[in-house]
């Protein structure tokens, strides 16, 4: 491994604002480019002015978010396990985690392609939408589905880089991925006139090219002296352990995407215009989330490293520093959305009905970064520490609360009630994880030392 990836000597290491920013800033830039894909698809298709096509892209994006977030343990789990091996100074295990994650990504990707048609049928039955929306969604889905193994491999490689604190390399790969996707989508849809099929193809080609580039960047940088034997990489117990560690993360991700899918489905029940307006506003929420996820990535790396090194003081400091930065940026994001929201809405759609509806509910989208920041940061801490059972349990409890608030609020308040339930859900996730964090710290590191 190169020097930038080498663990510090001994258990103790410093957690500083500069160190947090060294990971968070590149990853924030990387993550910020990700929701630009949805915005680009929405803006390009929105130029056509057909609400059904906008809704088709929205539902297609929800389906793939559901698929990829369900298997997001290939990024988050890889980050936690890699960071812990890093903190423990186990160089061969660092590489072994990467190879196992890539093998699992390939297996899952092929399985998803083979099960694509049943997945689409179930998704459309649950999400609803008009026949025109579902037809557009099907076209988008069938093309983008082929990119699944590459997308999951990209998750694994990004998680490994984040686990080692190599944020700049992660930024480069994410920039290439999202830049290609945006450029190709504009070319295929507006340049070649391929419509919604062009949006799906642009994303698929971008994922495949980036996966190949990622392998070319990562594999030559691995020190052969630390290369694990094939038997170690394919060790059945190690693979089962990796899957077991991430099982709860998968359940947590499944529940999270169920909530977002349910939100989209309830929006569709109010008609194509409401569905499209909510989809536009959810892109603002995604921008806010990815804006904050850079500091969540820093929390993942430092928390996992501290657990591997058994160094409590570094763990506690990483929690507080990432929360400090996270809340500061959450208020900045909310202010930007409040001021620039109407202009962003106009950019993403030319349909006047959709524009008017989106402006009506814009204040709810403005509040999402503040409501969700604690959840984002606590997710990073729990992922790095691989406290996956608590993540699962707190997510399920928050989901129950979300559905309970929706059950009361939607009949009483309409679409406002739906947004209220979403904000309660985001807030509950953060508060419940923060409540569990103190007990998990004590169980993992033992009694608090005077130095802490």
Average pLDDT for 257-278: 83
Q: What is the mean pLDDT of the chain?
A: 84
How many residues does this entry show for the chain? Answer: 452
Q: What are the CA-CA distances from residue 17 to residues 43, 176, 314, 321, 414 (Å)?
A: 37, 28, 12, 7, 44
Confirm whether pTM is higher than 0.85. Answer: no
On whether residue 3 sits in a domain, the answer given is no
pLDDT band at 40 (very low <50, low <70, confident <90, very high): low
Residue 51 has pLDDT above 80, yes or no: no
Average pLDDT of the segment spanning 274-302: 84
Residue 157 domain-assigned?
yes
pLDDT reading at 104 higher than 50: yes
Q: What is the DSSP letter of 48?
A: T
Q: How far apart are CA 95 and CA 20, in angstroms?
A: 24
Average pLDDT of the residues in 15-33: 83
Pair 224, 2: CB distance under 8 Å: no
- Furthest CA-CA distance within the chain: 66
Instruction: Please give the residue that has the higher pLDDT: either 403 or 47.
Output: 403
- Residue pair 75/158 in contact by the 8 Å Cβ criterion: yes
**Residue 8 in this model has a pLDDT that exceeds 60:** no
When pLDDT is cut at 50, 70 and 90, the band that residue 10 belongs to is: very low
* Domain assignment present for 450: no
Q: What is the pLDDT of residue 38?
A: 60
pLDDT (tens digit per residue) in 236-257 = 887 877 777 778 888 887 888 7
In the predicted model, is pLDDT for residue 276 greater than 50? yes
Question: Which tens digits make up the pLDDT trace of 122-152?
Answer: 888 877 777 888 888 888 899 989 999 999 9
211 found inside a domain: yes
127 neighbors 60 (Cβ within 8 angstroms) = no
Q: How many distinct structural domains can be found in the chain?
A: 1
Residue environment code for 260-290, b if the CB has 16+ CB neighbours within 10 A, otherwise e: bbbbbbbbbebbbbbbbbbbbbbbbbbbbbb
Asked if residue 27 has pLDDT above 90, the reply is no
Q: Mean pLDDT across the stretch 175-189?
A: 85
What does DSSP assign to residue 310?
T
- Distance, CA of 370 to CA of 377 (rounded, Å): 12
Residue 108 lies in a domain: yes
Q: How far apart are CA 152 and CA 5, in angstroms?
A: 23
Report which of residues 269 and 434 the model is more confident about. 434
Residue 232 has pLDDT above 80, yes or no: yes
Range of the domain at 294: 15-445
Cβ atoms of 51 and 288 closer than 8 Å: no
Residue 385 lies in a domain: yes
Q: Is residue 144 part of a domain?
A: yes
Specify the range with the lowest mean pLDDT, choosing from 16-25, 45-54, 255-264, 420-429.
45-54
CB-neighbour burial class of residue 327 (10 A; exposed 0-12, middle 13-18, buried 19+): middle
pLDDT at residue 319, as a whole number: 93
Highest mean pLDDT pick, 105-109, 188-192, 387-391: 105-109
| Among 112, 11, 114, 9, CA closest to 63 | 112
pLDDT at 4: 37
Per-residue buried b or exposed e for 127-156, using 16+ beta carbons within 10 Å of the residue's own CB: bbbbeebbbbbbbbbebbbbbbbbbbbbbb
Region of 89 on the Ramachandran plot (φ > 0 left; ψ -120 to 50 alpha; else beta): left
In a domain, 8, yes or no: no
């Amino acid at each position: 491994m190169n020097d930038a990836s080498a663990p510090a000597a001994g258990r103790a290491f410093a957690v500083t604002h500069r160190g947090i920013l060294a990971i968070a800033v590149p990853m924030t830039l990387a993550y910020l480019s990700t929701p630009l894909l949805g915005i680009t698809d929405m803006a390009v298709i929105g130029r056509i002015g057909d609400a059904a096509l906008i809704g088709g892209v929205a539902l297609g994006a929800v389906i793939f978010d559901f698929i990829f977030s369900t298997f997001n343990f290939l990024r988050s789990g890889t980050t936690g396990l890699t960071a812990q091996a890093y903190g423990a100074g186990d160089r061969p295990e660092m590489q072994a985690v990467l190879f196992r994650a890539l093998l699992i990504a390939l297996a899952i990707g092929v399985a998803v392609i083979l099960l694509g048609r049943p997945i689409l049928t179930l998704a459309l039955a649950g999400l609803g939408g008009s026949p025109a929306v579902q037809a557009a969604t099907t076209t988008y889905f069938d093309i983008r589905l082929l990119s699944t193994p590459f997308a999951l491999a990209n998750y694994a490689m990004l998680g490994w880089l984040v686990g080692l604190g190599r944020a700049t390399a992660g930024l480069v790969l994410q920039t290439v991925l999202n830049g290609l996707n945006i450029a190709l989508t504009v070319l295929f849809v507006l340049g070649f006139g391929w419509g919604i099929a062009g949006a799906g193809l642009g994303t698929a080609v971008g994922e495949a090219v980036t996966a190949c580039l990622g392998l070319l960047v990562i594999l030559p940088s691995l020190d052969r002296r630390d290369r694990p034997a094939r038997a170690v990489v394919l060790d059945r117990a190690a693979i089962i352990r990796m899957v077991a560690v991430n099982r709860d993360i998968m359940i947590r991700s499944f529940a999270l995407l169920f909530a977002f899918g349910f939100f989209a489905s309830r929006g569709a029940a109010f008609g194509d215009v409401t569905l499209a307006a909510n989809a536009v506003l959810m892109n603002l929420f995604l921008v806010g989330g990815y804006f904050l996820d850079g500091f969540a990535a820093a929390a993942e790396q430092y928390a996992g490293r501290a657990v591997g090194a058994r160094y409590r003081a570094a763990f506690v400091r990483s929690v507080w520093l990432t929360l400090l930065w996270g809340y500061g940026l959450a208020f900045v994001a909310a202010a930007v959305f409040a001021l620039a929201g109407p202009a962003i809405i106009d950019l993403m759609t030319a349909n006047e009905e959709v524009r008017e509806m989106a402006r009506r509910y814009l204040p709810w989208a403005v509040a999402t970064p503040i409501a969700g920041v604690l959840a984002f940061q606590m997710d990073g801490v729990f992922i790095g520490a691989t406290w996956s059972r608590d993540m699962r349990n707190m997510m399920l409890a928050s989901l129950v609360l979300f559905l309970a608030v929706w059950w009361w609020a939607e009949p009483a308040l309409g679409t406002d009630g739906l947004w209220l339930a979403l904000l309660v859900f985001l807030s509950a996730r953060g508060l419940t994880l923060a409540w569990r964090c103190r007990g998990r710290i004590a169980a993992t590191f033992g009694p608090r030392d005077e130095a802490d």
